[in-house]
Amino acid sequence: MCGIVGYLGNKQACDILIDALKRLEYRGYDSAGIAVWDNGAIATARQEGKVDDLRKAVSAGGFKGTLGLAHTRWATHGMPSERNAHPHTAGDVTVVHNGIIENYIEIKERLRKEGHTFLSDTDTEVIPHLVMRHVEEGRDFADAARAALRELKGSYAVGIIREKERTLVAAKKESPLIVGIGDEEYFIASDVPAILDRTKRFIFLEDNDVVILRDGLPVITDMEGNPVERAVSTITWTGAMAEKGGYKHFMLKEIFEQPRAIADTLIGRVTEEDGQLEFEDLSLPDLAKARKIWMVACGTSYHACMIGKHMIEANLRIPVETDIASEFRYRNPILEKGDVLVLISQSGETADTIAAMKEGKKRGIYTLGVCNVVGSTLARECDGVVFTHAGPEIGVASTKAFTTQISVLYMLMLYIGGKLHKMDRTRIKENIREMRTIPHKVQAILNGSGSIEEAARSFLTVKDFLYLGRGINYPAVQEGALKLKEISYIHAEAYAAGEMKHGPIALIDENLPVVVVSPNDSTYRKTCANIEEVLARRGKVLLFTDHESHEMASRVESVFTFPSTTYELQPVLSVIPLQLLAYHIANLLGTDVDQPRNLAKSVTVE
């Protein structure tokens, strides 16, 4: 999704802004632009393509100044092109925007009748026109900006500057925006990693906040101009955590960070000795008395929900209903008092997940966020939050967020099990002990993963993959298939293995690779039978198992083993080789692994 950065201080803005844009590249974009203010004049540049191309374009000079805005655009209204790239200007007002202005057509029509001319196909372009119009009415800049924003329906994070004054006005509604506070300098950004190397001190703006940055202290108001107080938070993530650290891609680095990420997610929350679990911000009565638990999310985080359902229903006998966030609120779900709504999101900014959270709050049920980003909308607005301590996830394809989400859900299961006396202390202690072995087991998979890269070479001309798994490994294979399709652009479908004969079996021939996760659990025999069915049709099976002597091993194309663990924790291990398979195929094909086409890291529009 679009990325916004802004700077006001005593250093040259251009390099600071372009460096910050580079760090937002992971969000996904198709064009980029910059505006730099200098003594009453604004120089702008914008173009289709990468931030590096923009850097080259501005390196010729003419971009001197200590105030500016920059933007990466992910097209929603209008094709990727120079004319649709941000910033957009009207009169002396220049704007960058993330979000969607839902009533832009009617505003455009109205302004056109008043004589305004529009140069792009974007919804954004109405914003500078509205601000300029209010400036011309005689309002001061901040007031004109607020008046313009009050006319908008939809979502936005905006940065606005004008030629006539050294001021940056920024605001947010349902799109993320933070303010970074440095030494006599201020930043705005869509996300913390953009400016982590510049400051660790941030203000997380709330919806309808407007911040006015001039030399001196920042002023924050509501949309009417009333002052509002916002706390300054200090972030512990370091800039280096958001760097590649010698890996070719962020995704590979993040796959290899999983032992640390999972260990960090457990730290301070589990004590094996007495079988206790502690969470920082949970309402115990609401959770422990839950009549029914809803788990709602998008993409990879939704797969974590499905795994949570398996764990909790099997062990606690509490019904869990899962839903894709974009479906949830439109189907009028039967939410009742005593229900708990768990919302899972790496970014904490996914628009559909936030909308689902708001639906839950509106209906008066307890909302619990499972989230990776401190200060994100989900983290701030849920009634309770449990953080995954994965560290910044930059690659668009989610990896360490997924395995830490499963780890959190596992701990929540033990926590609720203990509180409701549905699991005794001995069992909880055994489960904690097993959980503690998981980082080492993930490390063992990573250490022995060379054969996966070798195997990947055989599939570079393949057009389709089928993924099969059962039980708690069905969402794991769905996740494996999602990883492959999003970064390699190879079509991959995942099915519950028992469902294969109800349709997808028609696809099987000698050209179709079939990835099967088949652990040594109660579904082992059934999955062996499914593998037989694939082999009988000359399908090529890639088997992933924890069984030392899987009976199908000698008959399949290749076998990858992972360590054994309890049923509930299997997906944390089984998904690692699937992440690696997807990564190596995509890397060998030469796709843009960290920023796959058409995708955004943080999907902040519905």
- Binding residues for ligand M6R (CB under 6 A): 298-301, 345-347, 350, 353, 396-398, 482, 486, 599, 602-603
Structure tokens at 414: 């033990």
Q: Which amino acid is at 304?
A: A
Residue with nearest beta carbon to ligand M6R: 299
Is there a contact between 87 and 69 (Cβ–Cβ < 8 Å)? yes
Residue from 325, 327, 322, 329 nearest 306 by CA? 322
Question: Which of 234, 236, 367 minimizes the C-alpha distance to 293?
Answer: 367
Residues 6+ apart with CB under 8 A from 460: 585, 588, 589
The distance of closest approach from Cβ of residue 600 to ligand M6R in the complex, given in angstroms and rounded to an integer, is 8
Beta bridge partners of 345: 371
Angle in degrees, 0-180, between the axes of helices 299-316 and 473-488, rounded to the nearest 10: 170
Give the shortest CB-289-to-ligand M6R separation in angstroms. 27
Which of 253, 400, 485, 601 is flagged as catalytic? Answer: 601
Residue number, 399 or 570, with CB nearest to ligand M6R: 399
Alpha helices in 151-283 (DSSP H): 250-256, 258-266
Pairing of strands 93-101, 88-90: antiparallel
Q: What are phi and psi of 217, to 5 degrees?
A: -80, 145
Residue number, 462 or 599, with CB nearest to ligand M6R: 599
Nearer to ligand M6R, 341 or 396 (CB): 396
Residue 201 vs 380, nearer CB to ligand M6R = 380
Q: How far is the CB of 486 from ligand M6R (least distance, A)?
A: 6
The CA-CA-CA angle for residues 370, 375, 378, to 5°, reads 40
Are residues 353 and 325 in contact, defined by beta-carbon separation less than 8 angstroms? yes
Judging by DSSP bridges, how do beta strands 233-234 and 340-345 pair with one another? Answer: unpaired
The per-residue DSSP string of 292-303 comes to SEEEEE-HHHHH
Is 298 catalytic? The answer is no
d(CA 300, CA 490): 17
Q: Annotated catalytic, 601?
A: yes
**Measured distance CA(180)–CA(157) in Å, rounded:** 15
User: Cβ of residue 315: shortest distance to ligand M6R, in angstroms?
Assistant: 25
Nearer to ligand M6R, 404 or 523 (CB): 404
Identify which of 133, 218, 135 has the alpha carbon closest to the alpha carbon of residue 171: 218
Residue number with CB closer to ligand M6R (351 or 438)? 351
Minimum distance, C-beta of residue 120 to ligand M6R, in the bound complex (Å): 27
Say which of 2, 14, 305, 371 is annotated catalytic: 2
Distances (CA, A) of 205 to 38, 128, 219, 223, 288: 27, 21, 12, 13, 32
User: CB 452 → ligand M6R: shortest distance, Å?
Assistant: 18
The nearer residue to ligand M6R, 343 or 455, going by C-beta atoms, is 343
Shortest separation between residue 369's beta carbon and ligand M6R, angstroms: 10
3-class state of residue 494 by DSSP: strand
Task: Provide, rounded to whole angstroms, the least separation between the CB of residue 395 and ligand M6R.
Answer: 8
Q: Is 455 helix (H, G, I), strand (E, B) or coil?
A: helix
Q: Which residues are catalytic?
A: 2, 601
